[in-house]
């Protein structure tokens, strides 16, 4: 209760910032642009990204650089909101750092598998170097799995991935590594939430996290089913070992589908199927992932609007801007590959 009162300013600030988000009109304008430079110029002139782009020369901007700037903006927003009322003194608020660390480790291993470790430094977000709990430059210098493990030796990630061995082609099972690390991240987050917050706040946050992990599992299952018609046991092996609104048995029931169509039919009978129906959506093969992401954003928007809690506001606003940045990147990709507007539109999570 007292926590709630003392962090009201953070909630108000978060909501005010979210009020400046891109509108459907902005997306429409962006989709009609013909180059990355035009997109950057529009963002600089007409949107809340004007400050972060103020010193950037948009006419010559590189696509990757623009993406990095937008992602950095979101990370800085998180840092700014955390430090606004000294929230960063509470362990929960370190969640985005942990999430990014997991992503960097997975990215380094992916580069290793592709024998492109030298290129990892290019994708490494410079703004994150000073926030990470291990040396990211050393991670970039690692040239084999042993060296990666050495860099993360003193972190909790070490024990989670130390026992992985390469297959006969010398490749590491990245999907499984990512699944284990994500499970760790979400479990640790759930435990931290229970420790740090009163029941109401914890319930609201857990509801968001449960949705997040269920949707990861549903999408993961859908992809495995669609691309390799994997059986239930295989999907379960790769799914996050942590359950939200879909119990273990409900997930098994879903994964046991005979093919993708059956998978979608079974999904319709679950909580998420009913929720999609509530919002007037019929799950389809082409649109399922998008529909599920839209569902998650709807929950997040609702939570941001209705729940008077700083951690909920922070968690949702960072996620909602992640989605916004994903949308902008989709538009940039569309322009890069000269995709028709109607195709790009289908990718947007609005």
Partner 1 sequence: MSIERMELVNIAGLVKDLDEVLERCCQSQCFHIEAASHDMDDNNGFKALSEENPYTECLKRVYSVAQTVSYRPKGVDYSDVKMEETEDFERYVSELEKSFSEYNLKISELSKSISMREQALIQLNHLKGLNVDFKKIFSCKNIGVRFGKLPADSYQKLVYYNDRPFVFVAFDNDKDYYWGVYFVPNAHKAVADDIFESLYFERVRIPDFVKGTAENAIEEITAELEREKRELEQAKQGIANLLAEKKSEIDKLFSKLKYLHDIFELRKNVSALKDKFYLVGFVPKKETKKFMSIFADMPDVAVLINPPELDSRLEPPIKLKNNWFAKPFEIFVEMYGLPSYNGFNPTMFVAITYTLIFGIMFGDLGQGIVIALAGLFIWKKKKNRFGQILTRIGCSSAFFGLVYGSVFGYEEALNPLYKLIGLQEKPIEVFEDTHTILIGAVSIGVVLIIVSILINIFINLKNKDYEKALFGNSGLAGLVFYTSTLVAMVSTFVFGHNLFKAPYVLGLIVLPLLVMFFRVPLAKLAHTKGHVEEGEGGIGEFITENFFELFEYLLSYITNTMSFLRIGGFVLSHAGLMLVVMVLAENAAAFAAPIVVVIGNIFVICLEGLIVGIQCLRLEYYEMFSRFYEGDGHAFKPVSVDYNSEIE
Q: Which residues bind partner 1 (CB under 8 A)?
A: 1, 24-25, 28-29, 32, 37, 55-60, 62, 64-65, 68, 72, 119, 121-122, 124-127, 129-130, 137, 140-141, 198-199, 265, 277-278, 280-282, 341-342, 345
Cβ proximity to partner 1, 122 vs 229, nearer residue: 122
Cβ proximity to partner 1, 171 vs 341, nearer residue: 341
Name the minimum Å distance from CB 135 to partner 1.
Answer: 10
Q: Residue 160 is encoded by which pair of tokens?
A: 């989670």
Distance CA(185)–CA(230), nearest Å, equals 26
Q: Residue 245 is encoded by which pair of tokens?
A: 């609104």
Q: Residue 188 is encoded by which pair of tokens?
A: 């640790």
What is the rounded end-to-end Cα distance, in angstroms, of the chain?
34
Q: Is 280 left (phi over 0), alpha (psi -120 to 50) or beta?
A: left
Name the minimum Å distance from CB 16 to partner 1.
Answer: 14
Cβ proximity to partner 1, 13 vs 180, nearer residue: 13
Cβ proximity to partner 1, 62 vs 153, nearer residue: 62
Name the minimum Å distance from CB 122 to partner 1.
Answer: 4
Cβ proximity to partner 1, 59 vs 159, nearer residue: 59
Distance CA(253)–CA(264), nearest Å, equals 12
Name the minimum Å distance from CB 189 to partner 1.
Answer: 18
Supply φ then ψ for residue 344, to 5 degrees. Answer: -60, -40
Are 33 and 39 in contact by the 8 Å Cβ rule? The answer is yes
Please name which of 274, 264, 280, 174 lies closest in space to residue 225, comparing C-alpha atoms: 264
Name the minimum Å distance from CB 1 to partner 1.
Answer: 6
Cβ proximity to partner 1, 83 vs 228, nearer residue: 83
Name the minimum Å distance from CB 177 to partner 1.
Answer: 24
Q: Residue 279 is encoded by which pair of tokens?
A: 């919002």
Cβ proximity to partner 1, 235 vs 295, nearer residue: 295
Name the minimum Å distance from CB 279 to partner 1.
Answer: 9
Q: How many CB atoms lie within 10 A of CB 265?
A: 14
Distance CA(108)–CA(142), nearest Å, equals 8
Q: At what angle do helices 260-268 and 199-228 cross, to 10 degrees?
A: 160
Cβ proximity to partner 1, 5 vs 227, nearer residue: 5
Name the minimum Å distance from CB 232 to partner 1.
Answer: 22
Q: How many CB atoms lie within 10 A of CB 85?
A: 15
The 10 Å CB-count burial string (b at 16+, else e) for 137-155 is eebbebeebeebbebbeee
Proportion of the chain in helix, strand, coil states, percent, rounded to 5: 75, 0, 25
């Amino acid at each position: 209760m007292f926590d709630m009162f003392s962090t009201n300013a953070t909630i108000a600030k978060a909501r005010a910032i979210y009020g400046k988000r891109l509108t459907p009109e902005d997306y429409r304008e962006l989709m009609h642009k013909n180059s990355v430079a035009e997109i950057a110029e529009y963002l600089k002139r007409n949107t809340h990204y004007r400050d972060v782009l103020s010193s950037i020369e948009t006419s010559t901007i590189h696509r990757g650089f623009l993406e990095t700037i937008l992602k950095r903006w979101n990370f800085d927003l998180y840092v700014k909101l955390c430090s606004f009322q000294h929230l960063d003194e509470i362990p929960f608020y370190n969640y985005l750092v942990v999430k990014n660390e997991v992503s960097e480790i997975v990215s380094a291993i992916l580069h290793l598998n592709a024998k492109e470790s030298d290129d990892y430094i290019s994708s490494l977000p410079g703004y994150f170097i000073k926030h990470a709990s291990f040396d990211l430059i050393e991670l970039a210098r690692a040239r084999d799995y042993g060296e990666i493990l050495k860099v993360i030796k003193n972190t909790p990630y070490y024990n989670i991935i130390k026992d992985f061995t390469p297959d006969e082609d010398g490749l590491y099972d990245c999907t499984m590594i990512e699944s284990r690390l994500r499970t760790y991240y979400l479990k640790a987050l759930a435990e931290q939430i229970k420790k740090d917050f009163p029941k109401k706040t914890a319930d609201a946050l857990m509801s968001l996290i449960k949705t997040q992990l269920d949707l990861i599992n549903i999408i993961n299952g859908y992809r495995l089913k669609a691309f390799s018609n994997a059986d239930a046991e295989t999907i379960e092996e790769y799914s996050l070992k942590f359950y939200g609104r879909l119990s273990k048995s409900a997930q098994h029931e879903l994964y046991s589908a005979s093919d993708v169509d059956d998978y979608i039919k079974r999904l319709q009978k679950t909580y998420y199927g009913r929720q999609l129906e509530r919002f007037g959506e019929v799950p389809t093969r082409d649109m399922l992932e998008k529909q599920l992401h839209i569902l998650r954003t709807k929950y997040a928007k609702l939570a941001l609007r209705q729940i008077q809690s700083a951690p909920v506001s922070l968690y949702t606003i960072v996620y909602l801007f992640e989605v916004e940045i994903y949308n902008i990147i989709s538009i940039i990709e569309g322009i890069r590959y000269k995709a028709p507007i109607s195709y790009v539109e289908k990718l947007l999570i609005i």
